[in-house]
Structure formats: C-alpha cells, structure tokens
A and B are shown apart, each in its own frame.
Chain A
C-alpha cells in the first residue's frame, strides 16, 4: 500500500542563506498574463441620453463609434461592443455593454430583466465551459461583467424607484459603482446633500454596492479616502477647450468652463483612479470569486446537485447525474411510447377513412359499370332496330327495284312492240 508520510504539518518558516531567485515569480506570472492580454467588461446602466457613451469615451480617451439611441425603444436591449486597447506592453480587450432604452418605456416593471439575464448568460457560458470534459479555460475569452456603472440622474432629490429596484436586483450579481451623471447641473452645495441622500437610501434599502478593498496596505488608504466621495459625480467630455496655455477636456458654457479633469469641478479623476488605476484587478477577482461562485452554487443546487460526504464527491456528482439521466431517459421513453400510441391510433383512423373511401369508390364504380351496361344495351337495341330498318329498307328497295325492272322490261317490251308496230305500219 502507498505509504505517504507528511512531516511538518505546521509549516516551518525557513530562512534562506543566499539569494535563490524566486522573487521573480510575480514577474513570471505577470509576463504570462501580459502576453495573453487582459479582459475587462463594463456594463453601463442608465437612461437614454444620460451620458454613458460620452463618459466611456472620456474614460478611455478615445471615440468609440456609436450612434445615439432614440427614445422609442420598445424595451431594454443590451448592446455590447468590444475593443482592443494597448498601452505600453499591456493589451486590454475592453467590452462595453450598454443598456439601450433603459427608462424610456411607460411601463418599466420589466426593465431590469434583460440586464439580469445578460449577466447570468455570461456566467452560464463560463460555467458551461468549466463543466466541459475537454475544456480550455486558460485562453477562454471572459465575457463576465466586471464592473457595472450605474448612472443616476442628477435630479438633486433622491434615487428614482427604478434605480433602487434595478440596483437591488443587480447587487448580488455584479460589482455596482453608482455615479451621478451630468454633474455639472448640480450646484456644489446641493451635490453634497444629494450624495448623502443617495448613500443613505442605498443603505436603508440594503443595496450592496462595490466596496473598494481596504485589506492591503498599499491601496487601503487611497481606497478609504475615495470611498467617502461615493457616488462619484462625473462630467464627461471629449471636446477640448483651451485653458490657460493647455488644452483640456471640458464643457464650455456661457458662464464658465467645466473642466473634466479638475477635481474641484467633478469626480471624474476619482472615478478613473478607482475604476482603472487602482482596482481593476480587484474588480475582476471579485467577479470571479464572489459573484460567479454564487451563481455557480445556486445553479448547481437548483439542478439538484449536493455536496455529500467528503470522500464521495465526484461520485455523488456522478450518482446524481446518473439518477437524473435515468429519470430523463425514462421520461424520454414514456414520451416515445405516447407518441407511438398516438401514431398507431392515427394510422388506424386514417386506415378506416381510407377503407370508407375505397368502399365508396367501389360502389361508384359498380354504379357506373351498371349504367354503362345499360347504355350499351340501349345502344345495341337501337342498333338492332336500325339494322332492322335498314334491312326493311333494303328489302323494300330490292322489291322496288324488281318492280321497276319488271316495269322497265315490260315497258321496254311495250316500246319494242310499239316500235315494231310502228315499223310494221310504215311498211
């Protein structure tokens, strides 16, 4: 039997007497990831016209092609676009998913559904890949949503009920980062009140938004300071205005210029810092270890799989699977039987119908035959009559001819007699 001894269960810390070189491990790991490229998927939820596309353009410093959506969408649609961005040696596959038509309908009861379904579909696709026998997870194109930017309309009062409902439905499935859009319509004093109102409403409704991680010293501080400013009030713009002697992204109004990257004017820089420069990797990790695992757990439990005793796991999975498979096959057989029965019945019916039709046809045929026979007889009778008549006629004709020839003969004789008489008289 296999004799495995595991010594030192509590691991000793050993000190090294020289440079070994495994401190290059993080680099090795990172190099591998760099050559493969990274995926990052952002979902933008917000009403039409609230500035989602503009903000994306501003965040990623480029103009993603898009036509502004109309307000006449019959329902909420998700539109996803993928782009490849590169900065130094880092390649990023960025996917931006837009909610088209959100908030436009008169009845918004079901507005959140397409969004939830889309998020679930991406989890499902990953789960399917993970459960395959022959799978290739290491080069799987990850489409799961890593961050959801929820655009709050700058009413200055509070959250709309649609916002609360939607965020509540999404908070266990995705990292939600709420932002106040078009923040240049709110004055500074109103903004602070608005932000507090929103945060307290979120808390009182139990909405779990994304928490910037504070467990690691290097980022704890910055994350903590930034969290205080949630939700970020942002302004987006790709237009550049000359400020001082530099060009900067801004919005020009008659009463002044709102600078996008000026932290006094709006929180755009904070959003960019948090979303991209500090927590992008954490967002990806949370999506995978928390939201995806939750989805997976629920999905598998829903299908009837359970963790049983530790020493029979793949077997229990297999057993449940076998049981389900048998159940399914049984059902299949039953259905097959039913279908067969129905088919037999139908065939019988059709057969009967056909038999009826055949009988009818036979009858018709007999009738026709009889009619035909009768007609034939009639015709023959008539033919006979006709022949008789013809015969009679011939007889009559013959008799007449005879008479005529007799008459002629006698006539001819008479004429001859007459001639002779005449001739005799002449002499």
Chain B
C-alpha cells in the first residue's frame, strides 16, 4: 500500500546497505559490559551533579489539591505541611456567605524556597464539597478541573512551536480528608475516591485525629483500608506502579500505615523547653510533629521528603498518558495503538542504518 508520498532517492554510494523500511529506533543494542575496573577515572558520575544543578536552576512545580467537607482542617493541615500561610482559612463560619452553592475550585500559587531549591507550590482548594444537603455528583467539578489541566498540557505539547518548559498545572496529589467518625467511610467518600482514583493520585487522610484514641485509630484505619480494597479503590502509592522489589517493600510499609491520622496546627507552644507546633487542650498539648501523638510527620515525610518527585512522575507518566491516549483515540477515531499520524507520516527514507558489527 503506497503511502502516497514521493520515494526518496538512495545514494548509489550506499549500495552496501540493506535499505530498511523504517530505521530501527534503537541502535543495535549489544551492550557490551565493560570491565568495571576501568583504567582510570572518567568522570561519568559527575552527571549527577550536573543534573542536580540544572534542576535547581529551573525549579520545580507542585500542585496539591485538598478535598473534604468544611471544617475538617484542610487549610490548617496544608499550612502546617508547608510551614507557611499557603492557604487562607475560611475565617468565620457564616452560613449565608461562606458555603458556596456549588463546589468551587480555588487555586492559589506561591513560590517557596528552601536550601537553594525553588518550588512553585499551588494549593487547590475545593470549598463546597460535601457541604450541600444534596451532594450528588459533587465530585464532577473536581474531575472536570483535573481533566482541564491535562487538556491544557496536551494542547501545549501538541503545538508545533513548543515552549521550552511547558507550565505544569496538573494536579500531582489530592489529599482526601476523611471525617473521623470512627465507624467507616461515608458513601460520599467512596463515590469520590472511586471516580477520582483513576485520574489523580489520591492520598486519603483521617482529619482531626485527636478525637480518637490509639485503639480507635488503628481499628478505624483497618476498616477504612478494608472498605477501600473491597470497592476496588487504589490510593497512592498504587500497587500496580511499583517498579521493583525495593519499591514494593517500601511502599507496602507505607500502604499498611495509610490512611495517616493527622492533626494540623499553626500555633506553637512550649513543651519540655522546645517550641513545637501543637494544639492546646485542657487535658494536654497535642504535638503535631510527635509520632506518638499523630501521624503528621509520616505524612509530611511521605509526601514531601521521599515521594514528591514520584507523585509528579506518576501523574505525568501514567495519569496524563492515560488521558492523552483516551483523548487522541476518541477524537481521532483511530484504532488504539496506532500513531496519531501513522498513515500520514511518510515512510522514513532508506537511511544508512548503523550496521552492527
């Protein structure tokens, strides 16, 4: 079947070559393992430093969404996580004004810097979620927003003249706040997570965990995990994306202790001669960063210190690619698996394929 485009000439000089219909994308891979005892230092490992310098220069984007009913402490938690006033709290509870009629999406961006690393942090708040009397389909605006960000990125990517760095507004992480009822998940929780766990990384957290004792906490967590499993909801880190055994063991441990029961606070108190973030109650001070009191520190280490980059990568390599594939399939009407321009691209001319020797 002729591709309808002109055949390209093959040089007489290349008579030696076997003209291939398509050049092999990979160079004939005979990776010959070189004796690791090299005769001397080459300097290949400096690429790590080079890469680190480059990334520090360009900076990072991180977009985190918080979803949950009003009053669960979303803004406080985000402020505690990033140790700054990234989220403006709903100051007063005025029923007439403050509850939006529909779910709103509020995205606020800040630039924070630490240790020479610049991060553009965007916190996406969803006031109104779960607050109406009838909450049917209240996750739809959220799903729509997330897909819109994927769409924006796709549009940029498909451009002929592309930006050097496509601005990334895709939601990398969605913290879902579970009400600490102590019983089980609410139908709204299940519905939301069922719909959204396929498009975004969901990290469920148990809010206001200072209302539960240790036993209640662990029982509740187990029940929640069970329910999520029964309903086929995969929260981040998803089992199917574990790359190797090391990843799996590390992530298994984390999955076992999720959802993290957290307490947030932006007030500092003096405890044992140290200034700590905490909540003061008549019966004691709950230290936010004390692992015996709540699991905030675990959440923070998990999201920021170890898995931040992974959250972004899973969003980019998996969720975004899924969206893109679906989008191209739907609009192009092409059979899945075929290149978008598969039948239009000319056959790559018979190029001198690197001969493997």
Contact = CB atoms under 8 A, between A and B. Distances in A.
Interface of A: 2-8, 11-30, 32-34, 38, 41, 59-62, 65-66, 74-90, 92-93, 95, 97, 105, 110, 113-114, 117-118, 120-122, 124-126, 128-129, 131-135, 137-138, 141, 143, 216, 218-219, 272-273, 276-282, 285, 289, 293, 296-297, 300-301, 303, 305-307, 310, 313-315, 317-318, 321, 324-325, 328, 331-332, 335
B274 interface: no
A11 B47 contact: no
Contacts of A303: 341, 344-346
Contact of A65 (B32, B83, B145, B329): B32
B320 to A, nearest CB: 11
Contacts of A110: 11, 13
Given A61-B42, A90-B45, A141-B26, A16 B54 contact: no
11 contacts: A14-B111, A20-B300, A21-B301, A21-B304, A23-B115, A27-B52, A79-B357, A87-B41, A89-B45, A216-B54, A328-B344
Contact of A3 (B41, B43, B105, B300): B105
A335 B2 CA distance: 10
A133 B44 contact: no
Contact of B54 (A81, A282, A325): A282
Contact of B305 (A18, A22, A86, A117): A22
A279 B158 contact: no
Nearest to A111: B13
B113 interface: yes
Interface of B: 1-2, 4, 11-17, 23-36, 38-48, 50-57, 60, 62, 81-86, 100, 102, 104-117, 119-120, 141, 144-145, 148, 154-155, 158-162, 164, 300-301, 304-310, 313, 316-317, 321, 324-325, 327-329, 331-332, 334, 336-341, 343-346, 348-349, 351-357
A293 B16 CA distance: 32
Contacts of A335: 2
B4 A331 contact: yes
Given A11-B110, A23-B116, A77 B154 contact: no
A300 to B, nearest CB: 5
Contacts of A301: 160
Contacts of B100: 3
Contacts of B35: 62
Given A80-B354, A324-B344, A133 B13 contact: no
B321 A281 contact: no
A218 to B, nearest CB: 6
Contacts of B148: 2
B34 A88 contact: no
B335 to A, nearest CB: 9
A310 B349 CA distance: 33
B50 A93 contact: no
Given A14-B86, A74-B16, A307-B160, A84 B305 contact: no
A125 B23 contact: yes
Contacts of A84: 31-34
A124 B23 contact: yes
Given A16-B82, A32-B313, A133-B339, A285 B54 contact: yes
Nearest to A140: B25
A38 B47 contact: yes
A321 B340 contact: yes
Contact of A276 (B43, B106, B321): B43
Contacts of B164: 289
Given A13-B110, A23-B116, A285-B54, A131 B339 contact: yes
B117 A293 contact: no
